[in-house]
């Protein structure tokens, strides 16, 4: 086995870590995609329904502007939490 750098890590020992990172990245992208699909359903709600869950139509416009790989539901959660803290 070939030893990498001075820490004594071998190629075969690094493969599981790289595989785990790859799986985590794919999992995060899939979760963001799934949550974005659910997010788009919020656009079908009326303003009064959105108000019931603590959102406005403007909040949806802010969250949808995030890049694709980011989860818009986390942005909405932070908006709602900041409103709760103001109360």
Binned at pLDDT 50, 70 and 90, residue 79 comes out as: very high
Residue 30 maps to a domain: yes
Q: In angstroms, how far is CA 85 from the centroid of its own chain?
A: 22
Q: What is the CA radius of gyration of the chain?
A: 20
From residue 75, alpha-carbon distances to 12, 59, 78 in Å are 39, 9, 5
Residue 1 maps to a domain: no
pLDDT of residue 62: 93
Domain around 57: 10-86
Q: What is the pLDDT of residues 23-76, one digit of tens each?
A: 999 998 888 788 888 899 999 999 999 999 999 999 999 998 988 777 888 899
Residue 2 maps to a domain: no
Residue 64 maps to a domain: yes
Residue 54 maps to a domain: yes
Residue 5 maps to a domain: no
Q: Which of 20, 86, 17 is nearest to 54 (CA)?
A: 86
The pTM assigned to this predicted structure is: 0.63
Domain count, the chain: 1
Cβ density class 64-78: b for 16+ within 10 Å, e for less: eeeeeeebbbebbee
> Which of residues 35 and 9 earns the better pLDDT score?
35
Backbone torsions φ then ψ of 29, nearest 5 degrees = -65, -45
pLDDT of residue 48: 96
């Amino acid at each position: 086995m070939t030893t990498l750098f001075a820490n004594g890590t071998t190629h075969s020992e690094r493969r599981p870590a790289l595989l785990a990172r790859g799986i985590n990245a794919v999992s995060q992208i899939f979760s963001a995609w799934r949550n974005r699909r659910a997010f788009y359903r919020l656009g079908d709600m009326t303003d009064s329904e959105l108000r019931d869950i603590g959102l406005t139509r403007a909040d949806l416009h802010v969250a949808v502007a995030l890049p694709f790989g980011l989860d818009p539901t986390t942005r909405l959660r932070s908006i709602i939490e900041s409103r709760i803290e103001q109360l």
